[in-house]
Amino acid sequence: MIKLLRSDLYRLGKSKLLYGVIGFTGVLSFLLMMIMLQDIRVGISVFGNLTAFKEIEDIIRLGTEYQKGLGILVAILISVWIGQEYQWKTWQHKWIISKSRTGIYLSKAIVSSSISAAVFLQFQLIALFSSGQVSNIITSRYIATVISGIALYASLGAVLCLLSMLIKNNTASTILCLCYVLFSETIWSSITNLSGFSSRVVKIVELGMRHSIYGMSAIISSSSFSTDMAISIVINSVFITLIATSFGITAFRKYEL
């Protein structure tokens, strides 16, 4: 397992895409903060929903809304990194030297969750330090937001890993991962609308949405988010990560490589 992790980390370290994502995240975080500090009003619009940055907290909140930027970068990075193994059939080496399928999958899931959480953390730290108001920003609410965000992005990484591992085609898995990130809000809205025929179904759908990655993201980025919600978000994220990884391992073990 350690050998697989070292090999995966080595390959990730050789990926130009990784440095592109790190660079873009850093520049995005820094520029948004600088523009906001200069009192220039900008916003990001994804499918009509405009996010206007009026205060530092708006930029910090943007990091937790994965569908508006960071999630897209993470989806591309993870799907391409895993998809290359299918594209170039490099599973063979691992399989021939008798690395277990469970180990192969676990290594990918750990790296995907870690890199996803790391991209979020990088965004938050650069925003924090470039704001010039470190002591004002670091409150218990901010710390709870960052911890919840890390857990959220780790579970997002595990789900993106699942999608990339189960789709045996590099391009198809990238498209699917991007769709998952970009359309999660639309999909949940559609499901909510369709469930309107029964109040019981509406409650179940709402419960599902609240506990989904999208739902948690909406909770963390809302103004009603409070520090005591962080624990339930972390537990929920761990649960999603475990479910996605268990399902992925079961399916991947049956794959013909």
Partner 1 sequence: MNKYAITAENIKMQYGVSTILKDVSVHIGQGDIYALVGKNGSGKTTLLRILTGLIKDFNGTVSITKASGQESRFAAVINDPSLFLNMSAFENLKEQTYLLGLLEDSLIEEVLKTVGLADSNHKPVKNFSLGMTQRLKLAMALLQKPDILILDEPMNGLDPDGIADLRELLLRLHENGMTILISSHILSELEQVATSFGILYEGRIVKEAAIHDALQNGTSLEKLYMQYTRGGEGK
Q: Which residues bind partner 1 (CB under 8 A)?
A: 3-4, 6-7, 10-11, 14-16, 84, 88-90, 92-99, 256-257
- Using CA atoms, how far apart are residues 22 and 94, in angstroms rounded to an integer? 28
Angle of helix 16-37 relative to helix 56-64, nearest 10 degrees? 150
CB of residue 89 to partner 1, shortest distance in Å:
4
Of the two residues 164 and 237, which places its CB atom closer to partner 1 in the complex? 164
Of the two residues 89 and 200, which places its CB atom closer to partner 1 in the complex? 89
CB of residue 257 to partner 1, shortest distance in Å:
7
Of the two residues 45 and 250, which places its CB atom closer to partner 1 in the complex? 250
- Using CA atoms, how far apart are residues 253 and 215, in angstroms rounded to an integer? 31
Of the two residues 18 and 37, which places its CB atom closer to partner 1 in the complex? 18
CB of residue 81 to partner 1, shortest distance in Å:
11
CB of residue 99 to partner 1, shortest distance in Å:
7
Question: Tell me, what amino acid is at 166?
Answer: L
Question: Tell me, what amino acid is at 245?
Answer: T
Distances in whole angstroms, Cα of residue 37 to Cα of each of 79, 132, 133, 151: 35, 9, 11, 29
Of the two residues 11 and 211, which places its CB atom closer to partner 1 in the complex? 11
Q: How far apart are the first and last CA of the chain?
A: 19
170-173 long-range contacts, CB within 8 A, separation 24+? 170/79, 170/80, 170/83, 170/84, 170/86, 170/87, 171/83, 173/79, 173/82, 173/83, 173/86
CB of residue 94 to partner 1, shortest distance in Å:
6
